[in-house]
Structure 1
Amino acid sequence: MSDLRDVRAENRFEQGFVDPNGQTQTVFADYAIQGDSRIILHVEADPALRGTGAASTFMRALSEHARSEQLKLAPRCSYAVAWLKRHPEFADILT
């Protein structure tokens, strides 16, 4: 697993994970910027990573990144909304 990256030129957070076949795949979240908030529009894991927990690990890293950078998250993607509801310890980063 590699570190979370904020690819600002593409308004995208991404993180690499090794799939069950040993290949590096990416989980990403597209976002829009509104002040100090990042509106999470879409979260996607490569199909090879589905069922491995990679998307959840990514969301935790994204949430921790937002906290450390003093950013707020406004989830619009259904996966991000559901994940953040299951993790109330990150309520302080939500707008």
Structure 2
Amino acid sequence: MEILLEENGSKGAATAQEDGKRAGMMTYSIAGTGLIIIDHTEVEPAYNGKGVGKQMLYKIVDMARAKNIKIIPLCPFAASLFKKLEDIQDVLKT
């Protein structure tokens, strides 16, 4: 599974690909120099239950740490993972 990050203006996305096929996408909005808002997650049905969403979130968290950015998870999926996973809560906007 390969996770690619892409930003275009005030929007960004982590896209999961496997064997050239899109497995999922997690989108975010850039809300300033030190803040992003994760707003949507979708995983293709064939990849449900395989941890694709979690992998995309970890890729965004790694980017946020590297850029010293905080995250607001408006997406219900991302918000639920932030509640469960203590190892990523350091980038959570409080």
TM range (shorter): 0.7 to 0.9
Q: Corresponding residue for 1:29?
A: 26
* Structure 1 counterpart SS, 2:41: strand
Q: Return the TM-score normalized by structure 1.
A: 0.81
> Following the alignment from structure 2 to structure 1, what is the Cα–Cα distance between the partners of residues 42 and 72?
16
> Following the alignment from structure 1 to structure 2, what is the Cα–Cα distance between the partners of residues 31 and 16?
15
Question: Residues 52 and 23 (structure 1 numbering): CA distance in 2 closer, same or farther, change over 3 Å?
Answer: farther
Q: Return the TM-score normalized by structure 2.
A: 0.81
Which blocks of at least 5 consecutive residues in structure 2 are unaligned?
none
Runs of 4+ in structure 1 off by over 4 angstroms are none
Q: Corresponding residue for 1:91?
A: 89
Give the fraction of aligned pairs with identical amino acids, expressed as a percent: 24
Q: Corresponding residue for 2:39?
A: 41
Aligned length: 92
Aligned 8 A contact 1:7 1:14 in 2? no
Aligned 8 A contact 2:64 2:91 in 1? yes
* Structure 2 counterpart SS, 1:30: strand
Q: Corresponding residue for 2:73?
A: 75
Structure with greater strand percent: 2
Which blocks of at least 5 consecutive residues in structure 1 are unaligned?
none
